[in-house]
Amino acid sequence: MTTSTDTHADTAAADPIPGAPLLWMRGDRAALGPFTRELAELYWQWENEPTVIAGMGRQTPESLEARLTGYDAQARSMGTIPRFTIYDLTRDGGPVPVGTSALRIDHYVRTAEFIILLGADGRGRGLATEATRLTLDYAFTISALRSVWLKVLAPNTGAITAYEKAGFCHAGRLRRAGYWHGAETDELIMDAVADDHLATS
């Protein structure tokens, strides 16, 4: 169970430790903090790992110059796409940034698409499920959304398992809608609704 709301209040009230990252939502193993320009090159490194490129259904990497330009556009769109840095709380020496999550909000219908990315150093550590739950906590308790949905390539079984553990349910399938390591594959749609999530938080 994630205790992000109470811990978030405690964190906000405490005096910040010089040099420590700002954490908005905190669980036992993972936390969410702001999306910052200081970490833009790290975001670029994660986004261009071959495993991440395959998981996102892309075929080509992106240059650092294009990514830094893209960061400026992302920073201007925070009102519709809140973005977060995911931190690993299990490491010695303090929170370590390991990935990002985002909510692509449709304000007209109060729903959002969920997007998450973990670099190689953050995978296989049980962080994806908790970071997903924390982002859903934000979506339903801070942004007051009604539902959150995502798309995931069918062969990406590790991600699907993490989403299921975080509370997402299967909602549909788009046939032959993406590519996985060069081969056509189906894309699954999953969703989480506020009533279900808040009842288990």
Q: Is-catalytic flag, 71?
A: no
Per-residue DSSP letter, 120: G
What number of other Cβ atoms are within 10 A of residue 98's Cβ?
A: 24
Candidate list 71, 87, 163, 179, residue with the active-site label: 163
Return d(Cα 29, Cα 33) in angstroms, integer. 14
Task: Residue 84: name the closest of 120, 45, 50, 133 by CA.
Answer: 133
Return d(Cα 22, Cα 31) in angstroms, integer. 10
Return d(Cα 83, Cα 74) in angstroms, integer. 8
The catalytic site residues sit at: 163
